[in-house]
Amino acid sequence: MSSTTVERGPRGSAHLSIAGRRRVRGVAGLLIGVGGLLLVWTLLSEFVFGEFLLPPPLEIGQIMWEIVRSGAFIEHFVPTILRLGYGFALALLIGFPVGYLMGTSRWWRAFFHDMVMVAGSIPGITYAVMALVILGISIFGPVISVGLVAMPYVAINVAEGLDSVDRRLVQMSDAFRRQRSSVVRHVLIPSVAPFAFAGVRLSFALAWKVEQLTEVFGGSSGVGFQIRREFEDFSIPGMLAWVLLFIVFMILLERFVLARLERYLFRWRLEDKA
């Protein structure tokens, strides 16, 4: 790391580059932030709620470590993450055609308008209990819930992406008599894909919450199911440990994997602006 951020200054002394300094400041901010969180939590646990109602961070940390060490972490995270992945695959599979129709035809736009608008404000509990009633206890519940929650965001972003397609490219393809399929493949899909991905990213926070809820109601494995079990055991520390592990994991996934992927997919756009 030092080789990339430390540059030789004009007098030969080592200076941190601007990017390096910014990175140091970012890490410091994160440390202060996490420290602040732990401080607030410890104070609340010590003076306001008491150790029984809100166990101190150290205790939760030990339980979290125990969960990771015993292998329960892998055992329940893998199914949860897989379902999330299948759900988003489903959302893309349906969202692409729906967004394509919405972006290209006025009639279909009016057709899907209300559904897309309403989908965002449907309470998550609806998906969870409906999935339980219709599908029983099965892995399809979380997958379909995630798909339904994320689909409108994908569709609306695909439609927005089609709005932004460079018309001159399409006209040029027409002028040179390119086939429809090759226009779709080389012009439309590359410019729309990042928007579809942005839809996934926007709905990410909402989707995994709904997935948790679905697992709480009708799961037989996964993090949500574990949370429900701890609740039924009346174990506040156990529940908090699972939740925090999951949140930390999700924030890392969001920040490092999804944000990078998005920057990668949108890189043509950044160059455009520069």
Tell me how far, at minimum, the Cβ of 187 lies from another protein, in Å: 19
Nearer to another protein, 185 or 255 (CB): 255
Q: Are 203 and 254 in contact (CB under 8 A)?
A: no
Nearer to another protein, 25 or 267 (CB): 25
Nearer to another protein, 6 or 133 (CB): 133
The C-alpha atoms of residue 77 and residue 209 are separated, in whole angstroms, by: 14
> 254: which DSSP letter?
I
Tell me how far, at minimum, the Cβ of 129 lies from another protein, in Å: 7
User: Where do contacts with another protein occur on this chain (CB under 8 A)?
Assistant: 29-30, 32-37, 39-40, 49, 53, 103, 106-126, 129-130, 133-135, 152-153, 156-157, 159-160, 163, 201-207, 209, 212-213, 216, 227, 231, 234, 236, 239, 243, 247, 250-251, 254
The C-alpha atoms of residue 15 and residue 28 are separated, in whole angstroms, by: 18
* Nearest CA-CA partner of 194 in 233, 172, 161: 161
The C-alpha atoms of residue 71 and residue 90 are separated, in whole angstroms, by: 29
Nearer to another protein, 81 or 236 (CB): 236
Tell me how far, at minimum, the Cβ of 177 lies from another protein, in Å: 29
Widest CA span in the chain: 75
Tell me how far, at minimum, the Cβ of 11 lies from another protein, in Å: 32
Nearer to another protein, 107 or 176 (CB): 107
DSSP string across 173-212? HHHTT--HHHHIIIIIHHHHHHHHHHHHHHHHHHHHHHHH
| 172 three-state secondary structure | helix
Tell me how far, at minimum, the Cβ of 7 lies from another protein, in Å: 27
